Amino acid sequence: MRLRVLSSLLLLFFPACQLAAQASSNAQKFSPPSRTFRFTYSFTVKDIPSGAKRVRVWVPIPQTDQHQTVHVLAVKAPVKTQMTQEPEYGNRMMYAEIQNSAAGKAEFTLEYRVTRREYSRGDYAHLKRADQKPSVVSASMSRLIAPDSLIPTDGKIKELALEVTGSQSGTVAKAKAAYDYFFTNMRYDKTGSGWGRGDAVWACDSKRGNCTDFHSPFIGLLRADRIPARFDIGFPLPEDKDKGDIAGYHCWAEFYARKTGWIPVDISEAWKAKEKEDYFFGSVDANRVQLSTGRDIALSPRQDGPALNYFVYPYVEVDGKPYDKLDKQFSFEKGKSSE
């Protein structure tokens, strides 16, 4: 009897191991298991008016989690700074306040050692087998099925959700249908105006944009189906370089399935590298660092201006008004975990 039970357990265990190994093997084609690098985040608040009484500065701070390990190496600032955290998403930030500035500018540099790990939940077939039923939304997830200012869950987005995901059964199948729809019907295109705001309705109408424009309607469709989904943003690392400047941010999305947990997708990167279409549903590579999560962000301490659309660049206010005269530079250099 004991042997029969053991044999049954082995039959269940080994196919599962083979499936996990296959998912890992597929993932290795496109991403190293991890990347360790020095990340430098520098900016200058310039042309500060001579009569300015208070300059407030907030900077997103990458934090350690299961996908990345972050060590602060240096913080250079003209005044004393403090580390704070906003309660809604848990984003951390550095806050500085400059009183009666006479310098005309303020320079900041933050340096980190980061080890970023590939984040893979396996391929679609594996994920679908694990989660074939709708997610049960707990109270703690309610914010992640609610609309954002540029990601509605009614009107055109709800109509599109019914069209694209309505015939699908289960969380993962619905998410894959939305992923396939935007991969097929949008193009990565940063010409003209309107792109880059993550306006879900604009993206559906224009069928183009950057990473924010790909992932905002994806999040909207899932939330319209009461599937928790969230927006992640940080900076990309070129996969074929060991150092260099980083031109701008990159974002991706995650959705929640009750048996698996959070599952990442990166539709815009898949669009730019079509051979990675299957990989980027369920996985994101190690070529990135995450700085924050969420949209419509209230900072800590609270800013005087409106909630931030997303939080990856420094946010500055001069005497209570948003101030955008900034020079920014971001760079990375390959490092060692023992650096």
Determine the Cα–Cα distance for residues 127 and 11; give it in Å rounded to an integer.
Answer: 20
**Residue 28 scores a pLDDT above 70:** no
> Would you tell me the crossing angle of helices 211-224 and 171-185 to the nearest 10 degrees?
150
Q: How far is CA 245 from the centre of its chain?
A: 20
> Taking residues 140-147, what's their average pLDDT?
94
**Residue 330 scores a pLDDT above 70:** yes
The total of other beta-carbon atoms located within 10 Å of residue 278's CB is 14
DSSP designation for 275: G
Q: Which of 145, 137, 143 is nearest to 161 (CA)?
A: 145
> Taking residues 232-236, what's their average pLDDT?
98
Q: How far is CA 66 from the centre of its chain?
A: 14
Residue 337 — very low, low, confident or very high, per pLDDT cuts 50/70/90? low
34-116+299-334 CATH pick, 1.10.1660.10, 2.60.40.2250, 1.20.120.140, 3.20.20.10:
2.60.40.2250
Determine the Cα–Cα distance for residues 335 and 211; give it in Å rounded to an integer.
Answer: 27
With vertex at residue 288, the alpha carbon angle to CA 282 and CA 289, rounded to the nearest 5 degrees, is: 110
> SS3 letters for the chain?
CHHHHHHHHHHHHHHHHHHHHHHHHHHHCCCCCEEEEEEEEEEEECCCCCCCCEEEEEEEECCCECCEEEEEEEEECCCCEEEEECCCCCCEEEEEEEECCCCCCEEEEEEEEEEEECEECCCHHHHHHHCCCCCCCCHHHHHHHCCECCECCCHHHHHHHHHHHCCCCCHHHHHHHHHHHHHHHCEECCCCCCCCCCCHHHHHHHCEECHHHHHHHHHHHHHHCCCCEEEEEEEECCCCCCEEECCCCEEEEEEEECCCEEEEECHHHHHHCHHHCCCCECEECCCEEEEEECCCECCCCCCCCCCECCCCCCEEEECCEEECCEEEEEEEEECCCCC
Pair of tokens at residue 323: 């101030």
**What's the mean pLDDT when you consider all of the chain?**
91
**Residue 287 scores a pLDDT above 50:** yes
Determine the Cα–Cα distance for residues 92 and 302; give it in Å rounded to an integer.
Answer: 13
Q: Alpha helices, DSSP H only, in the chain?
A: 2-28, 124-130, 155-165, 171-185, 200-206, 211-224, 267-272
Q: Are 236 and 285 in contact (CB under 8 A)?
A: no
Supply the pLDDT for residue 19. Answer: 37
**Residue 135 scores a pLDDT above 50:** yes
187-188 and 208-209 beta bridge pairing: parallel
Which tens digit of pLDDT belongs to each residue from 36-87?
Answer: 999 999 999 999 999 999 999 999 999 999 999 999 999 999 999 999 999 9
Domain-wise residue ranges, the chain:
34-116+299-334, 120-285
Q: What percent of the chain clears pLDDT 90, i.e. is strictly above it?
A: 84
Who has greater pLDDT, 170 or 28? 170
Residue 235, beta-bridge partner list? 289
As a whole number of Å, the CA-based R_g of the chain is 22
Residue that has been written with the tokens 């539709």 in this structure: 267
Same-fold call for 34-116+299-334 versus 120-285: no
Please give the model's pTM, rounded to 2 decimal places.
0.90
> Taking residues 297-302, what's their average pLDDT?
98
Which tens digit of pLDDT belongs to each residue from 110-134?
Answer: 999 999 999 999 999 999 999 887 7
User: What is the fold of 120-285?
Assistant: C8orf32 fold (3.10.620)
> Taking residues 311-327, what's their average pLDDT?
98
